[in-house]
Amino acid sequence: MSPVFAAQQPLSQLAVVAWLSKRACLAYNLVGRKPRSKEASVATPASPECVSCRRPLPPGLFCPYCGVFVLDPQGTVVMASRLSRLGAAIVNLLLQWLTLYIGWVIWWFIVAPRGQNPGKAVVGLRVIKTDGRAAKTGDMFVRGLVGIVLGLIPFYLDDIWLLWDKDAQTLHDKVVGTVVVKAQGSERIVAEGSLGAPPAGVTLPPAFAPPVTLPGAATSTPPPSPAPEAPTGDQPGEALKRLKDLREQDLITEEEYQEKRKAILDQL
């Protein structure tokens, strides 16, 4: 082997390692991916955008840039990280072993209505349907059962599928139509059963702060605020004067003025 070749070889190996680690980081979403400008300019007019980061959404169940579930109009439902999925699996195994399955099963029935199993409950994850509806006990049971069956495939292929799947779905997730999200931010799916009208439809307006309710809310708030200032003071004369001031500044209505005036006079 020539000395030149010997010196070059470690360098080429380094390059390969660097390339591989960058690929791995991309696969695990450890480094941010910038939207390709070409893709963005082509996609903008027709395709919907992420309600959270406002980038155009490629096909998929989650925004590839910020992880928001695309059907969530509020942008609080976020994909569970792959590392947390591994954590939940380890916690499940530990709990099953420690409680001889008995405690684990009891715990399972407590948390399954919320789309969880004990491991997911501890780590803070939740299973939801791919259409944004809640996964209930029956769905969790079927998902677990399919997971056991597909677990027969060698090399844990069913589970490790989530490592390269863009929506971090296992094979049993795909079969039963579920995804795993963070428990925090997805509570209302359990409470309401679904996410309501999705933003993912191309022309649907963003779900933030519907402007129609704002004026109503604004007009309904002022009346309570002057109320604490309303004069119920010790000196009736002073109280009447302050009440009159409030009336002149339009802080209370004529009706309120008359009512409060009567109350003060009654006290005399």
Q: Catalog residues that contact Zn ion under the rule CB under 5 A.
A: 50, 52-53, 63, 65-66, 68
Q: Which is nearer to Zn ion, 66 or 86 (CB)?
A: 66
To Zn ion, the closest distance from the beta carbon of 67 in angstroms equals 7
Residue 132: closest CA among 207, 199, 206: 199
**Residue 105 DSSP SS3:** helix
Q: Which is nearer to Zn ion, 53 or 86 (CB)?
A: 53
Q: Which is nearer to Zn ion, 54 or 244 (CB)?
A: 54
To Zn ion, the closest distance from the beta carbon of 195 in angstroms equals 16
Q: Are the CB atoms for 132 and 193 separated by under 8 Å? A: no
Long-range contacts (CB closer than 8 Å, 24 or more residues apart) made by 220-225: 222/251, 223/252, 223/253, 223/256
To Zn ion, the closest distance from the beta carbon of 65 in angstroms equals 5
Q: Which is nearer to Zn ion, 60 or 237 (CB)?
A: 60
To Zn ion, the closest distance from the beta carbon of 167 in angstroms equals 14
Q: Which is nearer to Zn ion, 59 or 228 (CB)?
A: 59
To Zn ion, the closest distance from the beta carbon of 79 in angstroms equals 10
Please give the DSSP secondary-structure letter assigned to residue 33.
Answer: P
Q: Are the CB atoms for 142 and 129 separated by under 8 Å? A: no
In angstroms, rounded to a whole number, what is the distance separating the alpha carbons of residues 110 and 63?
31
* Alpha-carbon torsion (207, 212, 216, 218), positive or negative: positive
CB atoms within 10 A of CB 240: 16
